[in-house]
Amino acid sequence: MNATTALSLSETLGLLWSRKGLIVTCALLGAVLAFALSLALTPRYQAEGSLVVRSEALTAPDNDAAFNAAAVNEAVVTTEQEVLTSRGLLARVAQRVTIPPEMLNEWSLNGALTSAGRFIACLAGPAASKWFDDELTAISPKRADAAADLAEKRLQFLMSAIKVTTTKDSSVLRLKATTEDAQLSADIINQLQELYTQDRLGDLGKHRPSS
């Protein structure tokens, strides 16, 4: 038969006091872990930009034309959003910005776990850090093409850093780049806008009738 025992306030306080060592130890461990986590988390910097890709709906002569132009405008905006995040354009941006090697793993779960493991090993001392790196080297697969692997890492980094959004009934695309370096974020946005604009001006030149 089960029995329920009710503890008075004084008994509860006495029980907590008897376990004060355990409570203090847990609190200190929590504080140490929170401090270590705050050191591991680096600040993030976001740069923003915008592009106007089409505005025919604003100059349509009547309502029907405006409706049709707005539908076309929405389709074009969606297409241009995909162009701005395409591998081809981002690969060109990656060639024109400097991405520190230590940032290239932040886009991947494996890279994030590796970085966290290395950080914990560093807290244990140089010997533990060397052991961790040696074990990582032993289990890591050898890359057949280091240059291609690096290019892919740079591309994946940009794909994770860049966000392109649309606004309903608007021809404006909003660009955002978020990284651990303020200058890098700004460079990514500047190069993305510049290359995209160059491509569109080049397309206009191709389709312009010759005199």
- pLDDT digits over 16-38, tens only? 566 666 666 777 777 766 655 55
Please say whether the dihedral angle defined by the alpha carbons of residues 43, 105, 185 and 181, taken in this order, is positive or negative. Answer: positive
Does 194 fall in a domain?
yes
Residue 20 inside a domain? The answer is: no
190 found inside a domain: yes
Higher pLDDT, 156 or 207: 156
Query: Is 132 within the bounds of a domain?
Result: no
Residue 131 in any domain: the answer is no
Task: Report yes or no on 69 lying in a domain.
Answer: yes
> How many alpha carbons lie under 13 Å from residue 184 in its C-beta half-sphere?
20
User: Quick check: is 89 in a domain?
Assistant: yes
Most confident of 22-26, 68-72, 114-118, 173-177: 173-177
Q: What is the pLDDT confidence band of residue 131, given thresholds at 50, 70 and 90?
A: confident
> Using 50, 70 and 90 to split pLDDT, how confident is the model at 47?
very high
In one letter, which amino acid is 13? L
How many domains in the chain? 1
Residue 71 or 57, more confident: 71
pLDDT of residue 191: 96
**Domain range enclosing 65:** 45-99+149-207
Domain annotation covers residue 71 = yes
When the pLDDT of each residue in the chain is averaged and rounded to a whole number, the result is 74
Residue 1 pLDDT: 46
CA 124 to chain centre: 29
- As given in the structure block, the two tokens for residue 174 are 């909003």
d(CA 77, CA 52): 9
CA distance 129 to 141: 20
Confidence check: pLDDT of 183 > 60: yes
- Give the residue, 6 or 99, on which the prediction is more confident: 99
Distance CA 185, CA 162 (A): 9
11-25 residues labelled b (16+ CB within 10 A) or e (exposed):
eeeeeeeeeeeeeee
